[in-house]
């Protein structure tokens, strides 16, 4: 059955991806099917990212970390789990599980600073630091709480 399907696809010029070798983009003739997951994906909506069986074609397996010049650093001590950063992150890079903000997915973050901008705490629980800065130095430089100006 599988062979028949493959043959039919080949006849119509459709290259079935997965398993076999990858076709070059200029060899694609009529269209192409990319599968996001390996195996059964019917219950994907109830699975967290770490439980999913991503295939190589899913951009989750790729990274855009090289786009970044500055990175957001997360300070868990100040965070109030309001999830503003989660709802407005354009790159699905805020790791939020069971109503708690856990950290940032640095593989997919492009450093746009939207999360820092929408953070409501005082001082902000997300701040931008240079890409080379490590977590401890960043946290040691965290600003103090600002008093409200009267």
The residue among 113 and 133 lying less far from another protein, judged by its C-beta, is 113
Q: How far is the CB of 133 from another protein (least distance, A)?
A: 18
The residue among 66 and 140 lying less far from another protein, judged by its C-beta, is 66
The residue among 30 and 140 lying less far from another protein, judged by its C-beta, is 30
Q: How far is the CB of 58 from another protein (least distance, A)?
A: 6
Q: Decide: 38 and 55 in contact? Cβ < 8 Å.
A: yes
Q: What are the residues whose beta carbons fall under 8 Å from the beta carbon of 100, sequence distance 6 or more?
A: 81
Q: Pairing mode, if any, of strands 70-74 and 32-33?
A: unpaired
Q: How far is the CB of 126 from another protein (least distance, A)?
A: 11
The residue among 34 and 136 lying less far from another protein, judged by its C-beta, is 34
Q: Decide: 17 and 33 in contact? Cβ < 8 Å.
A: yes
- For residues 131 and 111, give the distance between their C-alpha atoms in angstroms, rounded to a whole number: 10
The residue among 116 and 139 lying less far from another protein, judged by its C-beta, is 116
The helix/strand/coil state of 114 is helix
- For residues 74 and 104, give the distance between their C-alpha atoms in angstroms, rounded to a whole number: 7
Q: How far is the CB of 130 from another protein (least distance, A)?
A: 16
Contacts to another protein by CB under 8 A: 17, 22, 25, 28, 32, 34, 36-37, 41-42, 44-49, 52, 56-64, 67, 81-84, 86-93, 96, 98-99, 105, 107-114, 116-118
Reference 101, options 75, 123, 127; nearest CA is 75
Q: How far is the CB of 136 from another protein (least distance, A)?
A: 25
């Amino acid at each position: 059955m599988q062979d028949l399907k493959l043959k039919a696809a080949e006849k119509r010029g459709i290259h079935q991806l997965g398993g076999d070798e990858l076709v070059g983009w200029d060899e694609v003739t009529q269209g192409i099917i990319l599968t996001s997951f390996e195996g059964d994906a019917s219950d994907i909506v109830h699975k967290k990212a770490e439980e999913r069986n991503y295939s190589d074609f899913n951009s989750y397996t790729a990274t855009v970390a090289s786009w970044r010049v500055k990175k957001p650093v997360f300070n868990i001590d100040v965070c109030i789990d309001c999830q503003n950063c989660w709802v407005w992150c354009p790159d699905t890079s805020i790791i939020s599980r069971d109503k708690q903000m856990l950290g940032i997915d640095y593989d997919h973050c492009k450093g746009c600073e939207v999360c820092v901008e929408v953070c409501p705490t005082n001082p902000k629980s997300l701040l931008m630091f240079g890409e080379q800065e490590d977590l401890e130095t960043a946290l040691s430089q965290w600003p103090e709480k600002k008093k409200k100006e009267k």
